[in-house]
Amino acid sequence: MPRTTRPTLAMTAGVAALAALLLAGCTGSGGTDSQRKDLADAVPGRAKAAATPTPTPPPTGPYVALGDSYTAGMQIPPHAGEPRGCSRSGVNYPSLVAKGLGVASGGFRDVSCTGATTVDLTAPQDTGNGTNPAQLDALTADTRLVTLGIGGNDAGFMEVVAECAKDNLVDAVKGVIKQTRAASPCRDHYSSGDGTDEVQRKVNAAGDRLGKVLQDIKRRSPQARVYVIGYPTLLPADPSSCLPVLGKTVAVPDLGFLAEKEQQLNGMLKKHAQAAGAVFVDTAGPSVGHDMCAGEDERWVEPPFPARGLAPIHPNAKGQEAVSGFVLKAIRG
């Protein structure tokens, strides 16, 4: 086995002295900036300056907007696009986002449609006034930005609101004929023995479908940045403050039930967006105080008896503009 010659202290010191001499010489006029940098970087223990990451610029298209009536801007003038049955607005949040990003003409496609569910993303949707093609068919390998607002119709949220109104009306009749009234007839209607109500089961099922949709979007448009848009706050934190707007149509505990279901819906959207590597855009938090029970000048969502020509329990033009701001902020980072 050959002997290993270990460097002597004098040799080590000599090498160190030589390195110091070279560095000292490089600090004068005898070396170039490049030489000084190279030699400095070669010295053990000398830390290099960390490079500052360059921010990724926001995409400027092609941009595809997918979604339901909350995305389409149901009944908000002016009407835009076909089929007419989608009730798509020219000032909905996708249109305002495209404008804010300066997306080039022809680089923006809004295929959102009133009444859409996750099923209508992969199959044609009959609107009763024309057929909307499968929304995901608008995606291509060139697509760089996708916004998706979907899930409320899968959970049957508007049907739940209508059912709550009906159950409370029936319960009110019981009160007139002096029968015992329920504290929360709508919650009772949807409750089950296992602790998971019917609405929650629908939300969970919608989440499973959403996860598959997000995978499909990634497959069709692998370079796209995907943003899942949540639903704005519909009811205030204190449901009793809705009495001046809604009267006693729905019991206060049932208004709390509806608010709870919306929170579960948004929670599902956030969970599946993050799992798929997409960005969830919260609109519920920023819209607090602008719910359907706020004053006409403050609300972003119309109440069951909306302003003339607008859709009940849907965003108005101010609501669409506000959501566009939240989406643009998320995109720009």
User: What is d(CA 45, CA 196) in angstroms, rounded to the nearest whole number?
Assistant: 60
User: Do 88 and 80 meet the contact criterion of CB atoms below 8 Å apart?
Assistant: yes
Nearest to 299 by CA among 237, 238, 233: 233
Q: Which residues pair with 301 in a beta bridge?
A: 315
Residue type (1 letter), 258 = L
Which tokens go with 188?
């009772």
Q: DSSP code of 154?
A: T
314 as an active site residue: the answer is yes
Helix H or strand E segment including 264: helix 252-275
Which tokens go with 235?
């009811």
Active-site position among 189, 272, 290, 314: 314
Residue 64 sits at φ, ψ, to 5 deg, of: -120, 125
Helix H or strand E segment including 228: strand 225-229
69 as an active site residue: the answer is yes
Nearest to 89 by CA among 73, 68, 66, 113: 73
Residue type (1 letter), 210 = L
Active-site position among 69, 95, 112, 184: 69
Task: Cite the active site residues.
Answer: 69, 314
